[in-house]
Amino acid sequence: MTDPYKSVPIRSSEITPRHVYLSRRDFMKAAGLATGAALLTACAPSAADLPGNTKPVPVSNATDELGDPVNSYGDITSYNNYYEFTTDKQQVSKEARSFTTTPWTVEVGGLVNKPKTFGIEDLLKDFTQEERIYRLRCVEAWSMVIPWEGFTLASLLKAVEPTSDAKYVRFETIYRPEEMPGQKSPFYEWPYQEGLRLDEAMNDLTLLATGLYGEPNVPQNGAPLRLVVPWKYGFKSIKSIVKIELVAEQPATLWNDIAPNEYGFYANVNPDVDHPRWSQASERRIGELNRRPSLLFNGYGEQVAGLYVDLDLTSNY
């Protein structure tokens, strides 16, 4: 298989190192100069969204392999989907602010030879951390470009040795209603759960993200550990994972359970298959005024189309 990262023109190593981040004062000055542009997006960083409110804001001139610039740190950390906290995208960062992410363990088991519960420190130490710039395309037709850090899900799965009966991977988010007010809603079946076919899980693009922009994940982005599957709609990228299970049958997923006609198991980005309530042909990149056409597999077809040669992508949406 070709290495998809070879073609990234500006590697995320060019993300400004911490010591030369804009100071908060410089950032506010720059933000002032860019007021016109900032008004175009509901997600421009407000002072309250800056990390810790006193820390300098990480900045980056990096682009993805299609030449699109990464979204600002403020965009990525202030416009989120995380229903365990709230359904209001612009309030997630506030509601999640005091979520406890240490200590944290991830139980990896099911149909494996070597089940193991990993501390988050072991995952950071024992698995090769990489930086990768990925597009995130939400099913609601907005998108962002995010410089993630993390390690491949494949490297973790190989360590626990899936048996030949394992065909799918099931993921589970933490259940902690005392800190996650959304989990008191009886409308959703908590904990949030998601799934991938084993070959999707083993694909080199599939990442377990531990941070972004050179910083550890913040709660609103799924701290300390979240999945990133860049060719699928964002809801597959489950946050704050505590359990990963190798299973024989296709696992249930939160959104598929609630509305199977709207959210399929595959959820591959597909401009030709509309959501029953809206078109998926175009998207609004956060920070841009005009919509842009959506790309099959979110533009990662070269790396993943081979996984679906025998699958009808219209009925398996």
Antiparallel, parallel or unpaired: β 215-216 and 116-119: unpaired
- Residue 149 interacts with ligand MTE (CB under 6 A): yes or no: no
- Residue 192 interacts with ligand MTE (CB under 6 A): yes or no: yes
Q: Which of 72, 183, 203, 237 is close enough to bind ligand MTE by CB under 6 A?
A: 237
Is 143 within 8 Å of 290 (Cβ atoms)? no
- Residue 147 interacts with ligand MTE (CB under 6 A): yes or no: no
- 7 to 36: interface string for ligand MTE, x by CB under 6 A: ------------------------------
- Residue 238 interacts with ligand MTE (CB under 6 A): yes or no: yes
Half-sphere exposure of residue 117, counting CA atoms within 13 Å on the CB side?
5
Judged by CB, which is closer to ligand MTE: 162, or 191? Answer: 191
Judged by CB, which is closer to ligand MTE: 243, or 308? Answer: 243
Q: Give the interface segment with ligand MTE, choosing from 200-208, 232-240, 265-273, 288-296 (CB under 6 A).
A: 232-240
Q: Which of 21, 73, 83, 104 is close enough to bind ligand MTE by CB under 6 A?
A: 83
Q: Which of 170, 239, 243, 285 is close enough to bind ligand MTE by CB under 6 A?
A: 239
Number of residues that bind ligand MTE (CB under 6 A): 17
The 241-247 sheet, strands edge to edge: 116-119, 105-110, 241-247, 168-173, 193-197
- Max distance between CA atoms of the chain, in angstroms, equals 58
Nearest residue relative to ligand MTE (C-beta): 234
Q: Which of 43, 124, 138, 157 is close enough to bind ligand MTE by CB under 6 A?
A: 138
Q: Give the interface segment with ligand MTE, choosing from 19-27, 33-41, 74-82, 264-272 (CB under 6 A).
A: 74-82
- Residue 71 interacts with ligand MTE (CB under 6 A): yes or no: no
Q: How far apart are CA 293 and CA 276, in angstroms?
A: 18
Tokens of 38: 């900032």
Task: Find the radius of gyration of the CA atoms of the chain.
Answer: 19
- Closest approach, Cβ 189 to ligand MTE, in A, equals 12
Q: How far apart are CA 138 and CA 119, in angstroms?
A: 30
Q: Which of 75, 84, 149, 283 is close enough to bind ligand MTE by CB under 6 A?
A: 84
- Residue 49 interacts with ligand MTE (CB under 6 A): yes or no: no
- DSSP run (H or E) holding 114: none
Q: Any bridge partners for residue 209, and if so which?
A: 150, 226
Q: Which of 60, 86, 210, 221 is close enough to bind ligand MTE by CB under 6 A?
A: 221
Antiparallel, parallel or unpaired: β 105-110 and 116-119: antiparallel
Residue type, 39: L
- Closest approach, Cβ 2 to ligand MTE, in A, equals 27
Residue type, 312: D
The 3-state secondary structure of 285-305 reads ECCCCCCEECCHHHHCHHHHH
- Residue 136 interacts with ligand MTE (CB under 6 A): yes or no: yes
- Residues 250, 118, 84, CA angle at the centre, nearest 5°? 60
- Closest approach, Cβ 180 to ligand MTE, in A, equals 9
Q: How far apart are CA 307 and CA 301, in angstroms?
A: 10
Residues that bind ligand MTE (CB under 6 A): 80-84, 136, 138, 173, 192, 221-222, 234-235, 237-240
